[in-house]
Amino acid sequence: MQGKHVAGIVLCGLAAVMLLIGGLTKTWWNAEKGPVQFGVGLNGISQCVKGECRTQSFAKVGKLEGADKAWVTIGRITFFATFAAALSLMLTVGMGAAGKATGGPVSPSSISAALSVIMLLGGIAFLALVPDPISNVMKAADGGVSYAAFLHLGGSIMGTAGSVMFMGGAGAPPPNYSAMTPQQLAATPGPACRACRKPTRWVMEHSKHYCDGCRLYA
């Protein structure tokens, strides 16, 4: 297998896990005051007292209106889209591991690339537009942005990078020419010649593709 192929599989796989953990964990912001731990996630707030946690809606911290209401919606959309992004990333990993090409305009890799970018934008917007009532609670308790946010953002970036690698044709590993019989080799045309666009053929002695028309090695 090609290095780029393995890198694409690893990046997309890790990205799916990081997005899921980051999306489900309510510690995009985290603060601690005495025995109370207060966390904010994409889809709500958690309040833990001595390890016992309760999930609450954002409305609990105060009345959220206008831009703050939009912030809640951004969080919710990003939360639910996280599952679609993780699913398409895992599909890309599965197809890549099975040696199937995943490139093309509508393919698991292009869908997971698009969803990873949406994750990145949603995550950044959720961090940037935090409502005052929530940031005030965080400031009062010396809290701040915490690991779930970093996991989610990191997952978005890795998912984008990995998906783009697959879109660039890393999905199908290159044929193993050395294991082929001469007949199989003759039936396996190489990539198109850069000069004349006709398929090249593999020349075993030089381990290179050769264009018979242009008499050039690719």
Which window, 23-31, 41-49, 104-112, 203-211, contacts Zn ion (CB under 5 A)?
203-211
Using the rule CB under 5 A, give the single segment among 24-32, 88-96, 177-185, 195-203 that binds Zn ion.
195-203
**Per-residue x/- marks for Zn ion, 154-193, CB under 5 A?**
---------------------------------------x
In whole angstroms, the minimum distance from the beta carbon of 186 to Zn ion comes to: 18
**Is residue 8 a contact partner of residue 103, using CB atoms and an 8 Å limit?**
no
Contacts of residue 153, defined as CB under 8 A and 6 or more positions apart, other chains included, come to 22, 120, 123, 124, 127
Q: Closer to Zn ion by CB, 90 or 211: give it.
A: 211
CB-nearer residue toward Zn ion: 7 or 214:
214
Q: Where in 108-147 is the site for Zn ion (CB under 5 A)? A: none
Is 218 a binding residue for Zn ion by CB under 5 A? The answer is no
In whole angstroms, what is the distance from residue 40 CA to residue 48 CA? 12
Cβ neighbour number for residue 101 with a 10 Å cutoff: 15
Instruction: Give the residues across from 41 on adjacent strands.
Output: 44
* One-letter identity of residue 80: F
Under the rule (CB under 5 A), what is the footprint of Zn ion?
A: 193, 195-196, 211, 213-214
